[in-house]
Copies of this chain bind each other. A is one copy, B any other.
Amino acid sequence: MLNFAFQIPTKIYFGRDEQKNIGAYLKQYNPALRKLLLHYGSDRIKRCGLFDEIAASLEAAGIAFAELGGVVPNPRVGLVYEGVELCRREGVELILAVGGGSAIDSAKAIAYGALYDGDIWEVYQKGINLGKALPVAAILTIPAAGSESSKSSVITNEALELKYGHSEEVARPVLSVVNPALFATLPRAQAAYGIADIMSHIFERYFTNTAHTDVSDELCEGVLRAVMRNAPAVVNGPGGYDAWCEIAFAGSLAHNDLLGRGREEDWACHHIEHELSAVYDIAHGAGLAVLTPFWMTYVYQRNIPMFLQFATKVMGVEMNRDAERVILEAIRRLREFFRRLGLPGTLGELGIDGSRLEEMAKKANGVAFGEEEWKQGNFVTLPWQEVLEIYRMAL
């Protein structure tokens, strides 16, 4: 096991009706709070009554708010600029995101930008460490990204076709409301994308060459099994509050760092997927569902015991001395599981052809920018040529 530091600073308020207490929870966090920015995506939160519940709770707590909607999946830096401007003009003290990972990531970028004099896009592109940001809070409406308790955020520059992440402790939400009843009306596809993203967050941590990681192995495997047990119900019906609770709890755990403590993490799939989303504007979860089984197929021979553990403990394949057969059956089951959720199995199904694969592989590893290559992944280290190979397998 590797040395590590660990903490979950975000206070999660989990369960029915908790959004109605958001004003009180924010006052508990900061009794002096007077004004926040309510940041969200579509008008869905107004049509379903959520906006009014939040507004009433804030009003009861004596907290004024500005509002900025319009966040889209793969959130854009253009709206971030607008939010930064608004925060300064209105004297906003905290950003309250209402939505999924996109709204929360966009809120984090605005939170950095509000206290930064330079161009916020450069912070994402160049990895500038700021050390300060307005506090962020969240009311989750799509469980997937885990952004409600993570320090990370990803912003897209649509003009440049670039998508970059930025992580600082100051951007981690101070508190988040997770009420699984709010997820009940999610479109089927979005629920499925969320499942793929949650599972990928665990896979990125699970596949490791670090020895002696029994506890975190068990945590990863257990949460993956719980997700797979409940995902078909929330995607294909009958859904229901309790199944959504499991997915939501798993979603927070998947990305609050606990499951990766003491082990080297991988993150190749996430990074090579970001290139797809940046160029083709596909849903992150859809890209992950396609790439993950191909990544597994490409890398499994480098660590057969790790994949045997995955096959038997996560995918429920019976052990057999023909190790490759056991592993390939596990990958087949994962692909079939994604398929049953209505997720795509190839890049072709996402409308992606081979014309820009090399360009994306070179961008993923930095060689497109004339920089020294950064190779993808730690479990298996992939030069851009191998990233390209995985893209090609997935066509």
| Stretch from A39-47, A76-84, A101-109, A208-216 at the B interface | A208-216
The answer to whether B3 and A18 touch across the interface, beta carbons within 8 angstroms, is yes
Whether, in the assembled complex, A369 has its beta carbon less than 8 Å from a beta carbon of chain B, the answer is no
Q: Which A205-249 residues have C-beta < 8 A from chain B?
A: 211-212, 214-219, 221-223, 225-226, 229-230, 242-243, 245-246, 249
Contacts of A4 in B (CB 8 A): 14-15
Q: Which A315-345 residues have C-beta < 8 A from chain B?
A: none
A 1-18 binary contact with B (CB < 8 Å = 1; else 0): 111111111111111101
A 181-195 binary contact with B (CB < 8 Å = 1; else 0): 000000000000000
Report the minimum CB–CB distance from A243 to chain B (whole Å).
8
Contacts of A14 in B (CB 8 A): 3-6, 261-262
Whether, in the assembled complex, A380 has its beta carbon less than 8 Å from a beta carbon of chain B, the answer is no
Which of B7, B219, B225, B226 makes the CB contact (< 8 A) with A12?
B7
Roughly how many angstroms separate A3 CA and B230 CA in the complex, as a whole number? 18
The answer to whether A250 and B215 touch across the interface, beta carbons within 8 angstroms, is yes
Whether, in the assembled complex, A364 has its beta carbon less than 8 Å from a beta carbon of chain B, the answer is no
Report the minimum CB–CB distance from A149 to chain B (whole Å).
9
List 11 contacting pairs A-B, 8 Å CB cutoff, sorted by A.
A1-B15, A1-B246, A2-B15, A4-B14, A5-B11, A7-B11, A212-B245, A214-B246, A215-B246, A215-B249, A258-B258
Whether, in the assembled complex, A253 has its beta carbon less than 8 Å from a beta carbon of chain B, the answer is yes
The answer to whether A226 and B215 touch across the interface, beta carbons within 8 angstroms, is yes
Nearest CB in chain B to that of A3: its residue: B15
The answer to whether B212 and A223 touch across the interface, beta carbons within 8 angstroms, is no
Contacts of A10 in B (CB 8 A): 7
The answer to whether B3 and A242 touch across the interface, beta carbons within 8 angstroms, is no
Nearest CB in chain B to that of A247: its residue: B215
Extra pairs beyond A214-B229, A219-B222 (17, CB < 8 Å): A3-B14, A5-B13, A5-B14, A6-B11, A6-B12, A7-B12, A14-B261, A212-B246, A215-B223, A215-B226, A215-B249, A215-B253, A217-B226, A218-B225, A222-B222, A245-B262, A249-B262
Contacts of A229 in B (CB 8 A): 214
Contacts of A221 in B (CB 8 A): 218, 222
Contacts of A12 in B (CB 8 A): 5-7
The 9 nearest A-B residue pairs measured at CB: A3-B15, A218-B222, A212-B242, A8-B8, A1-B245, A214-B226, A222-B222, A7-B11, A215-B226
